[in-house]
Each structure stands twice: as structure tokens, then as C-alpha cells.
Amino acid sequence: MAQATNPKKDKKSNKSAKAAANPANNPVANPNEGGNKFFMLAIGAILVLGIAGLALVVTNREVTDLDGPQTAAVEIESDAVPLPPTPGQVSVDPSADPVIGTQLPVVSGTDFTDTPITIENDGRAKAVYFLAHWCPHCQEEVPNVVELVEDGRKPDNLDIYAISTSVDASRGNFPPVRWLDIENFTFPVIRDSDASEAFALMGGEGFPYTIYVDADNNVVARSSGTLGPDAIAELWGLAAAGGAGTE
């Protein structure tokens, strides 16, 4: 006797058979799904490792470049040192300031990464800033210098240098390297010694203390204290012009 058939059951069985025969239409049997998951996990792992590596590089940079010694040995080469302090806030008159018209002593030292820096007669006009991290006047002057350069008011034939001096870990805004980094002060900076020898021998008395020299390495002006943007730009121009206009 023939067995009765169930059309619905047969239809369902046929559908299941087709799905099993065609893995592409069967999510469970799709061999690509496991590969895709593995690929995504691998990409995620690479990204995590990359971020960790970048963090390590940044951390190492901070330790190497920003957390090293803030003072170092410095050398002043000249028979004329020590220089006398400036007779006023701005000094351009050789009759009142005997330093005006004399050669700037050669200053040699290292920056915060131990890279040697020498301020010498190289045929370029210069403005050499002596900065103390804890001095509010220096904290006011440094942004002015940076802004003037960004605004294109620095003469092309004038270079800017700084000497970080009078470092005191117990005072504010320490360490100086971080302060100058935050202010985007990207010019060459020499670390003064623990005893602030460069500042003392070069005639420093107040902050910021700045010496301006022409392309022949002659001192054309000195200043002590905050000047403001226009006065800074004027003295830069004076040095770049070779001292023209001094009285």
C-alpha cells in the first residue's frame, strides 16, 4: 500500500536540501564569515598596537627632550667680560653705555637636548634674550617675540637666540623648557649654568635682558625689562640696519 505524502513537509525538506547544497545561501555554513571576523579582529589589534607605539614615542620624546637637565656648562670667550649692566631700560648711546659699539663675546653651550649652540660672529644680526622662567616680564615678552615673528616683522637678516638662566625649581613656571615649548619659542636656546654665569658675565641685571648686535657682531643696543611689540621691532630693525640711527 502506497504511503501518503505530505506536500508541506516535502516542500520544507526540499528547501533544506537546497540550502545545504548551496553554502553561499546558508549563513551558518558560509566559510567567509569566520575569515571576515578574523580580518576585523586583526585590523583592530594592529590599530591598538599602533596607538600604543605612538604613545610610547610621545612619552620617550617628553622624557628625552622636555625632562632633561635645565642647566649646563656654558663658556664666554672674551677679554672684555664681565660687561657692565645697562644704564637704562633701553641703551643705544655709546657715551652712556661703553658696551655699545664693542664686539659681542662668543657664547658656547648646549640646548635642552644637549645639542651644541654657539652665538658668534657669523655675518648675521642678532637679538640675544636672557630669560628666566619664573619672571613675569619674560612671560610677557616671549609671546610678543613669537607673535612679531609670526606676523613677519622680524628682519630677514636677523636671528633670534635665547639663554635660559637663573633656573630655580622651587619657583613658578618650571621647567623652562616646557614653558618655551608651550609658547612655541622655536629659536636656539642655550642653557645657562647653575650659577647663571652667562647672565652675570654678559651684563645681566634685570629680566628680560636683551643684547642686539649688527651683522659685524657689534653691539648696537641693550635693553632690560619688558618693551612691548613696537619697541622690540624697532630694536630689531636697528640691529638689522647695522646700528643706523643710533644717537
Percentage of the chain modeled with pLDDT above 70: 71
What confidence score (pLDDT) does residue 243 get? 72
What confidence score (pLDDT) does residue 39 get? 43
What confidence score (pLDDT) does residue 24 get? 43
Question: What angle do helix axes 229-240 and 136-150 make, rounded to 10 degrees?
Answer: 60
d(CA 18, CA 22): 6
What confidence score (pLDDT) does residue 14 get? 47
- Which residues, in sequence order, are bridge partners of residue 107? 76, 119
Do 222 and 68 form a contact (C-beta atoms < 8 A)?
Answer: no
Q: What is the pLDDT of residues 61-113, one digit of tens each?
A: 343 456 789 999 999 999 989 999 999 999 999 999 999 999 999 999 999 99
What backbone torsions phi and psi does residue 153 show, to the nearest 5 degrees? -95, 0
What backbone torsions phi and psi does residue 213 show, to the nearest 5 degrees? -130, 155
- The vertex-188 CA angle with 186 and 194, nearest 5°, equals 115
pLDDT surpassing 50 at residue 15: no
The pairs formed by 118-122 with CB atoms below 8 angstroms and a separation of 24 or more are 119/161, 119/190, 120/217, 121/216, 121/217
C-alpha cell recorded at residue 107:
657664547
Higher pLDDT, 6 or 181: 181
What confidence score (pLDDT) does residue 4 get? 46
| Mean pLDDT, rounded, for 198-211 | 97
Helical ranges in the chain per DSSP H: 7-21, 31-61, 136-150, 176-182, 197-201, 229-240
Residue of 132, 123, 114, 104 lying closest to 201 (CA atoms)? 104
Do 174 and 182 form a contact (C-beta atoms < 8 A)?
Answer: no
Q: What is the pLDDT of residues 125-170, one digit of tens each?
A: 999 999 999 999 999 999 999 999 999 999 999 999 999 999 999 9
What confidence score (pLDDT) does residue 13 get? 46
C-alpha cell recorded at residue 180:
618655551
What confidence score (pLDDT) does residue 65 get? 53
What confidence score (pLDDT) does residue 56 get? 34
210 Rama sector, left if φ>0, alpha if ψ -120 to 50, beta otherwise: beta
Q: How much is the mean pLDDT over the chain?
A: 82
The radius of gyration computed from the CA coordinates of the chain, to the nearest angstrom, equals 34
Q: What is the pLDDT of residues 16-52, one digit of tens each?
A: 444 444 444 444 344 444 455 544 544 444 443 443 4
What confidence score (pLDDT) does residue 66 get? 60
